[in-house]
Amino acid sequence: MRDTNRPNLEDVAALAGVSTASISRCINNPKKVAEPTRLRIQKAIDSLGYMPHFGGRALAINRTNTVGAIIPSMENAVFASGLQAFQETLNDSKVTLLVGSSNYNASQEYDQIRSLLSQGADGLLLIGKDRPKKTLDFLEKHSVPHVLAWCFGKNISSPVVGFDNQKAAQKIADHVIALGHRKLAIIAGLREGNDRANERIIGIQDAQKTNPNVELVAIEECKYSFEEASAALDRILALNKNPTAIICSSDVLAVGAMLRAKELGLSVPNDISITGFDDINLAQVVTPSLTTVRVPQQEMGRKAAEVLLDLINPNLGKTAAQSVELMTTIINRGTLVSLQ
Amino acid sequence: MRDTNRPNLEDVAALAGVSTASISRCINNPKKVAEPTRLRIQKAIDSLGYMPHFGGRALAINRTNTVGAIIPSMENAVFASGLQAFQETLNDSKVTLLVGSSNYNASQEYDQIRSLLSQGADGLLLIGKDRPKKTLDFLEKHSVPHVLAWCFGKNISSPVVGFDNQKAAQKIADHVIALGHRKLAIIAGLREGNDRANERIIGIQDAQKTNPNVELVAIEECKYSFEEASAALDRILALNKNPTAIICSSDVLAVGAMLRAKELGLSVPNDISITGFDDINLAQVVTPSLTTVRVPQQEMGRKAAEVLLDLINPNLGKTAAQSVELMTTIINRGTLVSLQ
DNA sequence: TTAAAATATGTAAGCGCTTGCATGCAGGAA
DNA sequence: TTCCTGCATGCAAGCGCTTACATATTTTAA
């Protein structure tokens, strides 16, 4: 039923003494309306405080200028600055961002996808490349424009903007090995439904395999919290295999392990080296500061937004949206020691 | 123009052999439709992969089940977990969250408010209580349901869910003073357009005033980054007033100051005590871990969502939405030393 | 048995906006 | 003058959905 409180096109039209069509044109395509009329209309709009009704417009043009992003967790600083950059880039094109979080859970992600889409999202940003067939089918069936981030891969059918987790992990592991470490352990996120965690483990295993005299004494998976990482370190130490370096698949895990090591009276890196992944704020703050892998978050967010916008706008002569691979860098700080 | 790709109510109705009205009822009020029909409809919906069109619905019921939140910054972990709780609570009521960020800038906030509203947000979460008249007028004129968080106060016309920044700041300052500190300095966020930063300063000043033998040797404002806090510490030290404690109005600032102190060869807390505010992750991670003020973020997010939902739903007999004041707690860790 | 009440479903109007088409009008070319 | 062109504007259909109301069917009561 009519909300008499909120002015609509007709009200503006009446006040300005023109038809609703002109108002609409004035808003969406100002050149199509003559100067004096435009001024009159603008005055009417201002004086009524008119704002176009979102639903009406969405219905008419079948587009919302809204995109959704579903990240595994909002609490995790890992995604924050990437998302911020994503949003800023969208805003430049007058597109609004809807955010959902999946809690690292595929079925929650599916629900969020449906929810954001039924909220009218024109496109989606998703994290990672592995998801259940059900989700994939859904995306395909509804031909949802989407881009994947925080991952990369050659034979993915969706556009991807990110980095190769496996290669990045292999690189840091190679680096650790090059410094003389021969007994490694891993603390990683739960692989289940998390391709990034999974590939990071595989990357480290790759590095180990190409160096036969390197031993991988433990692989511990846990949730991304200090407490869980702390417990994971305990489990590793309980094995009595004496790894000289622990490669963690996230800074949060690395810091959790460091905190625990400190509690146990172990010196990092003298007694044990620890490396992280992501290079979030935390990494610079711990003592010693964390040697880690820097992920180009901002660039990823920005580029992902560009690709998604391309996907949504049947664009004018521009090149089709393409996947882009970004590179990670190893940031050497204080938690990794050379054994040579 | 009709998107033939996307099934609409009519398609479902045709397939199920009922009218569109029944489909609509089946979706929104299943009890109103008989069991066998409901099953038939459900099957049709599933087989077509039908999803209601957001705009159509929004137009018909003049409601989007969407609320917006505008936070000063996404990068700052300060708001992350509160926002997460806010979102989760909304989700329980099938309400989606739109997020905008204002970059601690009133005019950007105003733009975001307009943008979220024109995206159809039914209500808004805003941070802090001070804003320009223009913004206030706008909210009033359009009678936008909204709740303020991260602040509290008696004579605010909007519902507020938060804590009293001034009191909380006074409390930590009193605590510092009780430990024997007589020369204090402040590192705070920029007060301009930021009531939280402002009130936290005032709270500390309150504490100082009631203790005449306490001196406030410096008040430095800066942006919320390690680098800026670091520079602020330098400016304070350059004064040669030798404060024994630096009260920071955010953990980020406190950690930035700590990092700088360490660079300068100053021991925290032996040479100088430092306190934070917020109790974000960072606080536990630095060495020594940070004595700070814990803000009940999750609770604030949850309660704010409840109040906002109340505001939006002309609800059934429930009590009207009320402001709620939450309490902060001082978390004693390692950066504040007793001088007695 | 019949009337009344309850239940299930359909009909159609209308939410606010955009846009193809029609109309009117001014200026220029023939 | 007449015709054409182009611009500014209006008209009205239609986007997909909800819902008051009308209608048809079943149940219940008397």
What confidence tens digit (pLDDT) does each residue in A202-233 have? 999 999 999 989 999 999 999 999 999 999 99
Q: Is A242 left (phi over 0), alpha (psi -120 to 50) or beta?
A: left
pLDDT given at position B260: 97
- pLDDT tier at A100, thresholds 50, 70, 90: confident
Please report, rounded to whole angstroms, the spatial distance between the CA atom of protein residue A48 and the C1' atom of nucleotide C26. Answer: 33
Please report, rounded to whole angstroms, the spatial distance between the CA atom of protein residue B43 and the C1' atom of nucleotide C8. Answer: 19
**Chain A residues within 8 A of B286 when measuring between CB atoms:** 285-287
Q: Is residue A43 part of a domain?
A: yes
Q: Nucleotides on strand D with an atom closer than 7 A to protein CB?
A: 7-12, 14-20
- Report pLDDT digits (tens) over B182-197: 999 999 999 999 999 9
Q: Is residue B44 part of a domain?
A: yes
In a mutational test of the B interface, the residue from A75, A116, A134, A286 whose CB has the highest number of chain B CBs within 10 Å is A75
Are both B181 and B281 inside the same structural domain? yes
Are both B192 and B259 inside the same structural domain? yes
pLDDT given at position A75: 79
pLDDT given at position B209: 96
Place of tokens 């008119």: A50
Q: Is residue B129 part of a domain?
A: yes
Residues 6+ apart with CB under 8 A from A201: A169, A186, A188, A191, A219, A249
**Chain A residues within 8 A of B73 when measuring between CB atoms:** 84
Are both B280 and B169 inside the same structural domain? yes
What protein residues sit with their CB closer than 7 Å to strand D?
Answer: A 17-22, 25, 32-34, 36-37, 59-60, 62; B 1-3, 6, 8-10, 20-21, 24-25, 27-28, 50, 52-53, 55-57, 59-61
Percent of chain B whose predicted confidence (pLDDT) is above 70: 97
Please report, rounded to whole angstroms, the spatial distance between the CA atom of protein residue B189 and the C1' atom of nucleotide D1. Answer: 78
pLDDT given at position A3: 79
pLDDT given at position A320: 61
Domain that holds residue A21: 9-61
pLDDT given at position B2: 76
Nearest to B56 among A59, A101, A116 (CB): A59
Are both B129 and B74 inside the same structural domain? yes
Whether chain B has a CB inside 8 Å of the CB on A241: the answer is no
pLDDT above 70: residue B250:
yes
Torsional sign, CA A109, A110, A114, A117 = positive
CA distance A206 to chain B (A): 32
Q: CA of A217: how far to CAs of A167, A228, B326, in Å?
A: 21, 19, 48
Are both A290 and A182 inside the same structural domain? yes
Q: Is residue A335 part of a domain?
A: no
Nearest CA in chain B to A108: B91
Q: What are phi and psi of B76, to 5 degrees?
A: -75, 120
Q: Which amino acid is at A29?
A: N
Whether chain A has a CB inside 8 Å of the CB on B53: the answer is yes
Nearest to B84 by CA among A71, A118, A297: A71
Are both A215 and A240 inside the same structural domain? yes
Mean pLDDT, chain A, as a whole number? 93
pLDDT above 70: residue B1:
no
Whether chain B has a CB inside 8 Å of the CB on A59: the answer is yes
Question: Helices B195-209 and B165-178: crossing angle, nearest 10°?
Answer: 40
User: What are the structure tokens assigned to B97, written together?
Assistant: 């969250």
Are both B171 and B277 inside the same structural domain? yes
Please indicate whether residue A274 or residue A3 has the higher confidence score (pLDDT): A274
Nearest CA in chain A to B256: A285
Do residue B285 and residue A64 have CB atoms under 8 angstroms apart? no
Instruction: Please say whether the beta carbons of A211 and A177 come within 8 A.
Output: yes
Q: How many domains does chain A have?
A: 3
Percent of chain A whose predicted confidence (pLDDT) is above 70: 97
User: What are the structure tokens assigned to A16, written together?
Assistant: 């300005």
User: What are the structure tokens assigned to A13, written together?
Assistant: 């039209």
CATH number at residue A143: 3.40.50.2300
**Chain B residues within 8 A of A119 when measuring between CB atoms:** 54, 64, 66, 96
User: What are the structure tokens assigned to A174, written together?
Assistant: 């190679």
pLDDT above 90: residue B155:
no
Secondary structure of residue B63 in the 3-state scheme? coil
What is chain A's alpha carbon radius of gyration, rounded to the nearest angstrom?
Answer: 25
User: Rounded to a whole number, what is the largest CA-CA distance in chain B?
Assistant: 85
Are both B230 and B272 inside the same structural domain? yes
Q: Is residue A332 part of a domain?
A: no
Place of tokens 């023109």: A18
Residues 6+ apart with CB under 8 A from A111: none
Distance CA A42, CA A12 (A): 9
Instruction: Please say whether the beta carbons of B83 and B100 come within 8 A.
Output: no
Distance CA A211, CA A235 (A): 25
Q: Is residue A275 part of a domain?
A: yes
Are both B193 and B126 inside the same structural domain? no
Are both B306 and B273 inside the same structural domain? no
- Report pLDDT digits (tens) over A239-265: 999 999 999 999 999 999 999 999 999
- Report pLDDT digits (tens) over B313-339: 865 555 666 899 999 999 999 999 999
Mean pLDDT, chain B, as a whole number? 93
Angle A327-A330-A333 from CA coordinates, rounded to 5°: 155
Distance CA B209, CA A163 (A): 55
Whether chain B has a CB inside 8 Å of the CB on A3: the answer is yes
Q: Is residue A70 part of a domain?
A: yes
Q: Which amino acid is at A282?
A: L
Domain end, chosen from A294, A312, A335, is at A294
Taking only residues 163 to 222 of chain A, the set having a beta carbon closer than 8 angstroms to any beta carbon of chain B reads: none
Distance CA A292, CA A274 (A): 9
- Report pLDDT digits (tens) over A153-183: 988 999 999 999 999 999 999 999 999 999 9
Q: Which of B141-145, B245-249, B323-327 has the lowest mean pLDDT?
A: B141-145
Q: Chain A to chain B, count of Cβ pairs less than 8 Å apart? A: 146
Q: Is residue B334 part of a domain?
A: no
Question: Within 13 Å of residue A282, how many CA atoms lie on the same side as its CB?
Answer: 30
**Chain A residues within 8 A of B67 when measuring between CB atoms:** none
According to DSSP, the β-strands at A146-149 and A123-127 are parallel
**Chain A residues within 8 A of B282 when measuring between CB atoms:** 281-282, 285
Instruction: Please say whether the beta carbons of A49 and B141 come within 8 A.
Output: yes
Place of tokens 């961002």: A97
Distance CA B334, CA B255 (A): 12
Are both A266 and A310 inside the same structural domain? no
Distance CA A73, CA A44 (A): 44
Distance CA B92, CA B64 (A): 16
Secondary structure of residue A321 in the 3-state scheme? coil
Are both A270 and A158 inside the same structural domain? no
pLDDT given at position A321: 66
- DSSP E strands in chain B: the ranges are 66-71, 96-101, 123-127, 146-149, 160-162, 183-189, 215-222, 245-248, 273-275, 292-294, 324-325, 329-331
